[in-house]
């Protein structure tokens, strides 16, 4: 398919920003976003301000094109056609379910693209058992712009999320948003279980080690590999048997039974890793429990999988460093959660771009040499000028392409990239320093709870 002369110019000079815009045009076009909002929103409705306009404003802020939503609004004021107050009112009222479903639906499309791009290059970690890492993320404390926060001495938390991350595709596939920044992760486990898929393996930390939660996953046909909480109880069925050595310690395995109030006990494997070196918290033994069959994965692989759970922490760090994911000027919980949700979508777009690069240059080269930080930086720097120069109509060519044509175009764009522009800056190991004496931290407060209290007060 032929591109317009202006678009061709950017394809030659800035292929990565073109790839990012093409993905947004393909998966998140304004028409699709507005139709999606109409069928997903429960109480909110569209009057003058379109959901696609809100998405664009937040995208411009998250990708560092503009520092705040207010700045992004000023640049698009004529096109939006409503006041800034109306924009904030709609942001503050967005339902968490809208954000949740947006991540889930778009990640399916991004995943299909990654599978087409990867081909046979990337093998599944555990054939037959897609892996999902589940972990929580507390959104950064905000400024005290809301009246209910001005007299508070605690850092106001606008919300938290439980994130579902696929380390194989490097996509965030789902989200449980929570407006209460003080909520315990365990209070959200019922919502996690609603998202369990048969044959999927869920790798989780000890905060998720709750009997009803683990049994719920198993009863829905899912599998778990979870670190055991200190107070977690089980019935021992066999003595520990030595399974071998790892780089960090000796592995043992034994059979245990999980029982609850019902009559459906679950037979599981308890894997204990006796560490050669204690953790920074002083632990000398790490316990993992799983209902995966022995034929699927041995104790050593389960321990390896749990170690890879830290890839979700790396992902959170990348979202924070590549993008403006936690906008501390957005005090209302729903607005802050929407900002974080858009950052997740931007991260998924970067994952598709990296997959396109891997399909051309190889997995190892891209993983070891290419910096996502520089990729995100170029997208942010180029976006505004590119969209001023290239008419909106010219981008619709990516919507009209067949799936095969679009994947082929992504590969052609990737082949046109000068990789050395995005080369990682490798650093020497840090010299150990003297740890400073830590001060007693200030307490936090939940913005959602303070707003609720203000509503109920006379």
CATH number assigned to the domain comprising residue 134 = 3.90.350.10
Residues 207, 259, single domain; the answer is yes
106 and 178 co-located in one domain: yes
Q: Which of 321, 342, 369 is the last residue of a domain?
A: 321
The domain boundary, picked from 289, 321, 353, lies at 321
Which residue segment(s) compose the domain that 224 sits in?
Answer: 96-321
In a domain, 450, yes or no: no
pLDDT averages per 10-residue partition of the chain, 458 residues: 88 94 94 91 78 91 88 88 89 90 95 88 86 91 80 82 93 93 90 96 94 94 93 90 89 91 86 88 89 93 88 83 81 89 93 94 90 91 90 93 95 93 79 61 76 82
pLDDT at 434: 67
Q: What is the 3-state secondary structure (H, E, C) of the chain?
A: CCCCHHHHHHHHHCHHHHHHHHHHHHHCCHHHHHHHHHHHCCCCCCCCCCHHHHHHHHHHHHCCCCCCHHHHHHHHHHHHCCCHHHHHHHHHHCCHHHHHHHHHHHHHHHHHHHHHHHCCCCCCCCCCCCEEEEEEEECCCCCCCCHHHCCCCCEEECCEEEEEEECCCCEEEEEEEECCCCCCHHHHHHHHHCCCCCCCEEEECHHHCCHHHHHHHHHCCCEEEEECCCCCCCEECCCCEEEEECCCEEEEEEEEEECCCCCCCEEEEEEEEEECCCCCCCCCEEEEEECCCCCCCCHHHHHHHHHHHHHHHHHHHHHHHHCCCCCCCCCCHHHHHHHHHHHHHHHHHHHHHHHHHHHHHCHHHHHHHECHHHHHHHHHHHHHHHHHHCCHHHHCHHHHCCHHHHHHHHHHHHHCCCHHHHECCCCCCCCCCCCCCCCCCCCEEEHHHHHHHHHHCC
pLDDT at 238: 92
pTM, full prediction: 0.89
273 and 254 part of one domain: yes
303 and 181 share a domain?
yes
Examine the domain organization and report whether 24 and 100 are in the same domain.
no
- The answer to the question of residue 444 being in a domain is no
Domain boundary among 321, 356, 374: 321
Q: Clarify whether residues 88 and 128 are in a common domain.
A: no
Q: Do 161 and 293 have their domain in common?
A: yes
Q: Are residues 378 and 234 in the same domain?
A: no
In a domain, 113, yes or no: yes
Same domain, 311 and 207: yes
User: What local confidence, expressed as pLDDT, does residue 1 receive?
Assistant: 65
Q: Are residues 341 and 287 in the same domain?
A: no
pLDDT at 122: 72
Asked if 41 and 146 sit in the same domain, the reply is no
245 belongs to a structural domain: yes
For residues 102 and 169, state if they share a domain: yes
Does residue 128 form part of some domain? Answer: yes
The verdict on residue 427 lying in a domain is: no
Residue 160 in any domain: the answer is yes
Q: Tell me, yes or no, whether 158 lies in a domain.
A: yes
- The total domain count for the chain is 2
């Amino acid at each position: 398919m032929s591109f317009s002369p202006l678009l061709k110019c950017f394809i030659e000079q800035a292929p990565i920003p073109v790839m990012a815009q093409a993905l947004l045009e393909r998966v998140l076009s304004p028409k699709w976003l507005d139709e999606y909002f109409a069928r997903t929103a429960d109480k909110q409705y569209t009057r003058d301000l379109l959901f696609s306009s809100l998405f664009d404003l937040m995208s411009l802020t998250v990708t560092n094109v503009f520092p705040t939503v207010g700045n992004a609004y000023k640049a698009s004021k004529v096109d939006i056609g409503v006041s800034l107050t109306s924009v904030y009112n709609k942001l503050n009222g967005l339902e968490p379910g809208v954000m949740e479903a947006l991540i889930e639906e778009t990640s399916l499309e991004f995943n299909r693209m990654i599978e087409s791009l990867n081909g046979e290059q990337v093998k599944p970690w555990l054939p037959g058992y897609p892996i999902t890492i589940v972990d929580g993320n507390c959104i950064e404390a905000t400024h005290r712009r809301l009246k209910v926060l001005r007299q508070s001495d605690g850092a106001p938390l606008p919300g938290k999320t439980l994130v579902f991350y696929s380390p194989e595709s490097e996509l965030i596939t789902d989200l449980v948003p929570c407006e209460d920044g003080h909520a315990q992760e365990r209070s959200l486990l019922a919502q996690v279980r609603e998202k369990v898929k048969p044959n999927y393996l869920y790798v989780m930390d000890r905060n998720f080690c709750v009997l009803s939660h683990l049994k719920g996953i198993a009863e829905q046909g899912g599998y778990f590999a979870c670190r055991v909480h200190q107070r977690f109880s089980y019935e021992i069925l066999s003595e520990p048997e030595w399974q071998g050595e790892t780089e960090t310690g000796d592995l043992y395995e034994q059979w245990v039974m999980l029982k609850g109030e019902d009559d459906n006990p679950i037979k599981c494997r308890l894997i204990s890793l006796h560490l050669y070196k204690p953790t920074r918290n002083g632990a000398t033994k790490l316990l993992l429990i799983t209902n995966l069959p022995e034929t699927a994965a041995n104790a050593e692989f389960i321990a390896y999988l749990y170690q890879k759970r830290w890839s979700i922490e790396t992902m959170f760090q990348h979202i924070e460093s590549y993008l403006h994911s936690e906008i501390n000027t957005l005090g209302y919980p729903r607005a802050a959660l929407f900002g974080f949700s858009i950052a997740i979508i931007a991260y998924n777009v970067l994952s598709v771009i990296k997959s396109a690069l891997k399909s051309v240059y190889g997995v190892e080269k891209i993983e070891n040499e290419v910096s996502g930080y520089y990729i995100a930086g170029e997208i942010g720097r180029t976006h505004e000028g590119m969209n001023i120069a290239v008419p909106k109509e010219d981008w619709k060519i990516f919507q009209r392409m067949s799936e095969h044509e679009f994947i082929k175009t992504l590969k052609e764009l990737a082949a046109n990239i000068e990789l050395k522009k995005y080369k990682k800056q490798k650093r020497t190991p840090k010299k150990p320093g003297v740890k400073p004496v830590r001060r007693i931290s200030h307490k936090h407060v939940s913005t959602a709870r303070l707003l609720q209290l203000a509503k109920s007060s006379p």
